[in-house]
C-alpha cells in the first residue's frame, strides 16, 4: 500500500465550511503542553449540520483554535453525513492566520495505492466498467489521508489536546443522532439503485428489517464509529494503517488482484478554517 503524508501548500482549496459563534477569553494548553492564550472576542465557524456546529462551538468555548473547531466538526460530519466525508476519505484544509495575514493550504486528498494500474477499471473484455460497478468495488477505494491531514494541521495550529477534539463525535455516536432529511434522501436514493441495500453492513445500519430505508428523524447509533474514533484519538494516524481499523478496511473490500485500488472521490471531504 502506498501511503503518502499530507502536504502544506499555498492555494485556495476547500469543500466544506464549519459554522458556529463563540466568545473565548481563556488560556489553554496547546498540543505541546505549553499554555497559549486563546483569542479574545468573537469566533465563527460554519457547518452543513447543526451537530457539527455544536462540536465546533464546544471547542471554541474551551479555548480551542479554528483548527481545533474544524477537526471536531469534521469528525462529527463523518458520522451525520457519511455520504459526503469520513475517515475513509481525504480532504483539503485552508488556514488563514489573521496575525500574519498568511494563508496555508493542507492537501490530504487520497492517493492511489502502489498496486493501481491504468487498466484496473476495464472489464474482462477490455471495456470500461460501468460507473456504479466501479464505484461500489474495492478498486475505487484510495488510501485515506483525511486523518493525517487533520493531525498535521493540528500539530501546526491546534491548542487543545488531539484527543479532546474527538469527544463530541464519540459522544454523539454512542448516544445517537437523528437522521437528517438530507441523509434520509441519500439512503433512499442509494437504496433504489440497489447498491447500498446489497451491502450487508450498510443494510443493517441504514435499513429496517424489511429492507426499507430509515426515514428522517430515526435515532441512529454507531458504536463502531465511536470505537474507531477512540483508537485514532489515542494513536493518531497510525491507527488507520495498523490494527483493527486497517484490518477491517481490508476485509470490507472485495478480493482483487494487485491492481485492485484506485484514486477515490466518493468519501472525500474538505475543511476550511481561519484564525
C-alpha span between 175 and 167 (Å, rounded): 12
pLDDT(178) > 50: yes
What pLDDT, on the 0 to 100 scale, is given for residue 275? 38
- Determine which of 102-106, 126-130, 132-136 has the lowest per-residue pLDDT on average: 132-136
Predicted pLDDT of residue 126: 93
Task: Report residue 39's pLDDT band, with 50, 70 and 90 as the boundaries.
Answer: low
Q: Which of 78-87, 91-100, 144-153, 243-252 has the lowest mean pLDDT?
A: 243-252
- Mean pLDDT of the residues in the chain: 79
Q: Which three cell numbers stand for residue 95?
A: 488556514
List, for residues 217-255, the tens digit of each pLDDT value. Answer: 999 999 999 999 999 999 999 998 888 887 776 555 443
pLDDT reading at 268 higher than 60: no
Tens-place pLDDT, residues 95-109: 998 889 999 999 999
Q: Which three cell numbers stand for residue 141?
A: 477505494
User: What is the 8-class DSSP label of residue 139?
Assistant: G
Q: What are phi and psi of 71, to 5 degrees?
A: -65, -45
Q: How far apart are the first and last CA of the chain?
A: 36
Q: What is the band of 40 on the pLDDT scale with cuts at 50, 70, 90? A: low
HSE-up of residue 163 (Cα within 13 Å, Cβ side)? 7
Residues 156-174, mean pLDDT to the nearest whole number: 97
Secondary structure percentages of the chain, helix, strand, coil, to 5: 40, 20, 40
**pLDDT tier at 21, thresholds 50, 70, 90:** very low
Please tell me the least confidently modeled range out of 1-15, 66-80, 108-122, 194-208: 1-15
Query: 22-31, 56-65, 109-118, 186-195 — which is least confidently predicted?
Result: 22-31
Amino acid at each position: 500500500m502506498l501511503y503518502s503524508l499530507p502536504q502544506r501548500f499555498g492555494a485556495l482549496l476547500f469543500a466544506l465550511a464549519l459554522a458556529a459563534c463563540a466568545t473565548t477569553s481563556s488560556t489553554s494548553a496547546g498540543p505541546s503542553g505549553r499554555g497559549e492564550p486563546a483569542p479574545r472576542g468573537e469566533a465563527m465557524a460554519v457547518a452543513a449540520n447543526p451537530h457539527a456546529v455544536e462540536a465546533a462551538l464546544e471547542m471554541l468555548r474551551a479555548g480551542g483554535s479554528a483548527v481545533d473547531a474544524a477537526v471536531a466538526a469534521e469528525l462529527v460530519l463523518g458520522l451525520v453525513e457519511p455520504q459526503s466525508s469520513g475517515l475513509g476519505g481525504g480532504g483539503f484544509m485552508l488556514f488563514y492566520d489573521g496575525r500574519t495575514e498568511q494563508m496555508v493550504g493542507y492537501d490530504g486528498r487520497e492517493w492511489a495505492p502502489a498496486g493501481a494500474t491504468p487498466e484496473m477499471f476495464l472489464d474482462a473484455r477490455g471495456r470500461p466498467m460501468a460507473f456504479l460497478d466501479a464505484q461500489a468495488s474495492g478498486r475505487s477505494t484510495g488510501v485515506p489521508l483525511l486523518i493525517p491531514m487533520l493531525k498535521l494541521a493540528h500539530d501546526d495550529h491546534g491548542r487543545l489536546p488531539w484527543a479532546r477534539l474527538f469527544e463530541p463525535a464519540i459522544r454523539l455516536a454512542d448516544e445517537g443522532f437523528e437522521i437528517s432529511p438530507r441523509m434520509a434522501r441519500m439512503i433512499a436514493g442509494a437504496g433504489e439503485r440497489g447498491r447500498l441495500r446489497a451491502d450487508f453492513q450498510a443494510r443493517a445500519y441504514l435499513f429496517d428489517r424489511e429492507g426499507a430505508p430509515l426515514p428522517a428523524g430515526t435515532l441512529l447509533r454507531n458504536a463502531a464509529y465511536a470505537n474507531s474514533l477512540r483508537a485514532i484519538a489515542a494513536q493518531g494516524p497510525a491507527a488507520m494503517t495498523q490494527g483493527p481499523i486497517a484490518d477491517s478496511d481490508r476485509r470490507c473490500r472485495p478480493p482483487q488482484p494487485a491492481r485492485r485500488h484506485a484514486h477515490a472521490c466518493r468519501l472525500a471531504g474538505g475543511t476550511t478554517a481561519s484564525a
